[in-house]
Structure 1
Amino acid sequence: MSDAPRVEFTPAAADLIRQLTTAHGPLMFHQSGGCCDGSAPMCYQAGEFRTGGSDVLLASLVVDGVAGPVPFWISASQQEVWAHTRLVLDVVEGRGSGFSLEAPEGVRFLIRSRLL
């Protein structure tokens, strides 16, 4: 497999991560496996989503202007499905229906993917 990062982000996603970090403090992501917003990446305050033995830390995102890395978790079953892809965290207009921190901003995080 390639040495390419498993998760990257678009400039728009980086901007929103900076904005949310300013408002909420350290963040974390968990790639949803089908609840609430389907398979949307969910953004929480760090530690607000409990990860466990069935979750995999896929990446620690380093975003300019944000102190410390932003962990990106995924369930082990989802990781198996997407094992040969690079996930690209992006932002689109429209409010999601889940508990992700960006929902009140009128935008939502979205995953795009590329084969490795």
Structure 2
Amino acid sequence: MVVSRVEVTPAAADLIRSLHGTHGPLMFHQSGGCCDGSAPMCFPSGEFRTGSADVLLEELDIDGVTEPVTFWMSSSQFALWRHTHLTVDVVPGRGSGFSLEAPEGVRFLIRSRLLTEDELAELGD
């Protein structure tokens, strides 16, 4: 069994493919901020600077996208969410952040569940 911390819904994968076609390689960053700061933000790869205060959770392989889409989280948020599996989804509505999907009339959001004990063991937590 391959265990991951992050996956995407088919609707989110469709939007990622569309955004990739327009903007090229992509990345997500999930911070722990308030308001839209707690939503996953999608940027052209490298446009959002990551560093020692961030954790790379996953490199998402999306069919039709030529390179992995990286998913980052602030380390302070990861400390709180390390036992959580994240699913990136997309819903109608416009967020107020700088995420690439904002002009499309939709927004990414996170659906979550707790990782099982077996999943945690597989991830080394």
TM range (shorter): over 0.9
Equivalent position of 1:40 in the other structure: 39
Match of 1:68 in 2: 67
Root-mean-square deviation (CA, aligned residues, Å) is: 1.3
Between the two proteins, the alignment pairs up a number of residues equal to 115
Shift of 1:84: 0.7
CA–CA distance in structure 2, aligned partners of residues 21 and 76 of structure 1: 26
What per-residue deviation string (whole Å, max 9, x for no partner) do you get for residues 78-106 of structure 1?
11111111000000100000000000000
Whole-angstrom distance in 1 between the partners of 2:23 and 2:35: 21
1:10 maps to 2:1? no
Q: Is the 8 A contact 1:7 1:87 kept in 2?
A: yes
Task: Please state if 1:50 is matched with 2:49.
Answer: yes
Structure 2 counterpart of 1:106? 105
Structure 1 unpaired stretches of 5+: none
Displacement of 1:4: 1.8
TM-score by length of 1: 0.95
- Give the number of the structure whose residues are more often helix, by fraction: 2
Q: How much does 1:26 deviate?
A: 0.4
Q: Which has the larger radius of gyration?
A: 2
Question: How far did residue 46 of structure 1 move?
Answer: 0.5
Question: 1:80-99 alignment to 2 at 5 Å?
Answer: 80-99=79-98
TM-score using structure 2 length: 0.88
User: 1 CA distance for matches of 2:112 and 2:72?
Assistant: 16
